[in-house]
Structure formats: C-alpha cells, structure tokens
C-alpha cells in the first residue's frame, strides 16, 4: 500500500485553499446573520405599524396564510386587551380540512366533546394503536379558568350560553397544536397564552444579540502573527 505525501510545492497551495474556504464560510455565515437581524428589525417595525390598527394587522396576517381580506376578517381577530391575534375555531377547522384532516364526534354534550380524527380518509391511531381522539370537558375549562375569563365582568359567558361550541373549539385547537403543528396557523395563540408583545421582544432580543456579536467580530483588531 502506498501513501501519497504532499510535496513542499503542494503544501502552500493547500494552506491557501483552506484559508480561502474558511474566509468564504465566514462571509456566508456573516451574511446570514445580518439578514436574520435585518429581518427581525423589519418584523418589529411591521408589528409597531399594526399595533394601533388591528384590522390592518388581521389582513396582513391573513395574507401570510394565503387568505383574502374578507376571509382574514372572518377568521382572525385581535384581542383588544393584549393586542395578539387569535384564530376562530372555524379558521383552524378550515386549515385542517385543507390539509386533509377530518373528524367525527364521539361525544357531543354540554359537559364534554370528544372527536375522533382521520387523515385523508384513514383513521389516525394513538400509541396504543387505537383511534386517535381528543376531548375537552367543561370541568377542564373551569379548571383552566376559561369559563371565568369568558364571563369577564358579566354573570354569563360563551361557556354558559354555547358550551358545546366552546368545547368543540378547544378540541380542534388542541388537535391542531398537538398533532398537526405543521398545518398553517398552529402557532397563532389562543386566549390566555403568551402575548404578542413577549414574542416580539424575545425575537428582537435574540436577533439583536447576534447582530452585536457580529459587529464586534467585524470591528475587532486583527491579531498579529509572529514570523517563525
């Protein structure tokens, strides 16, 4: 077996080639970091622009989902207290059905709703190879304080007026989050979850730190290398 060795003439060329690859990788990485940071700034400006115009915000978000203006206003709403977008249950159901999902009611009462789900006509299975079902009860809604939140300052709320509808909506939402997160709209928050302000702040902080680190790297004085 013969081992091919680099000649003295080849060694400098290989070193130069390695350095060129390293510089190229740095340029690509720095460009990607800058692009991400700039996108975060643009997202923040966009969020600020829509902060005082909920309808414009809804239309812009709907456009990202491929919805027209009318459908956006019918399927998405902005919580006036938190400023965050929410999807109506009908919107989630529409997105899921467009992706091939469907469901059938197993239990449908004012105390509990349980749905069995399928994908493109085939029943989905759980870990025990049984039909996949998602349920939500009025007791769970009370424990999660959804009932009290829906009432607000009034004696009755939607969980009192149309409990079956509310429990159905929660089943659809939970299935969307748990088992179909790839379907568009799964990341839009429901009432009582993280506010948009915290999401924007976290995104801005993360991207800003990357940009600061990049700028520090680019402005750092080169290190002198002593001749050997």
pLDDT of residue 51: 63
Phi, psi of 163 (to 5 degrees): -60, -40
pLDDT tens digit sequence for 106-128: 999 999 999 999 999 999 999 99
- Given a cut of 90, whether residue 1 has pLDDT beyond it is no
Whether residue 141 contacts residue 166, with contact meaning beta carbons closer than 8 Å, is answered with yes
Residues 50 and 96 in one domain: no
* Residue 57 is assigned to a structural domain of this protein: yes
* Residue 7 is assigned to a structural domain of this protein: no
Which residue is it, tokens 């622009």? 49
**pTM (2 d.p.):** 0.59
Give residue 39's domain range. 13-84+195-216
In Å, how far are 17, 20, 26, 29, 156 from 23, measured between CA atoms?
A: 10, 5, 5, 10, 66
Residues 94 and 164 in one domain: yes
Domains: count for the chain: 2
Considering the chain, what percentage of its residues have pLDDT values greater than 90?
Answer: 36
Residues 25 and 104 in one domain: no
Residues 79 and 167 in one domain: no
* Residue 226 is assigned to a structural domain of this protein: no
Mean pLDDT of the residues in the chain? 77
Residues 45 and 77 in one domain: yes
pLDDT tens digit sequence for 39-52: 777 666 666 666 66
* Residue 170 is assigned to a structural domain of this protein: yes
């Amino acid at each position: 077996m013969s081992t091919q060795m680099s000649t003295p003439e080849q060694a400098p060329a290989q070193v130069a080639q390695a350095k060129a690859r390293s510089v190229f990788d740095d340029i690509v990485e720095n460009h990607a970091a800058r692009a991400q940071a700039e996108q975060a700034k643009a997202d923040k400006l966009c969020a600020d622009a829509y902060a005082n115009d909920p309808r414009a915000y809804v239309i812009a978000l709907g456009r990202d989902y491929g919805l027209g203006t009318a459908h956006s206003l019918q399927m998405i709403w902005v919580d006036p207290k938190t400023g965050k977008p929410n999807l109506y249950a009908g919107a989630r159901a529409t997105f899921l059905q467009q992706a091939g999902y469907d469901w059938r009611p197993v239990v449908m009462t004012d105390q509990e709703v349980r749905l069995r789900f399928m994908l493109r006509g085939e029943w989905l299975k759980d870990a025990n190879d049984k039909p996949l079902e998602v349920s939500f009860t009025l007791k769970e809604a009370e424990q999660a304080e959804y009932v009290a939140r829906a009432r607000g300052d009034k004696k009755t709320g939607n969980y009192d007026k149309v409990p079956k509808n509310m429990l159905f909506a929660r089943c659809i939402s939970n299935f969307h989050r748990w088992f179909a997160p790839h379907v568009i709209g799964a990341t839009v928050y429901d009432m009582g979850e993280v506010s948009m302000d915290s999401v924007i702040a976290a995104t801005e902080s993360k991207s800003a730190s990357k940009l600061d680190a990049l700028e520090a790297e680019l402005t750092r004085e080169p290190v002198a290398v002593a001749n050997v």
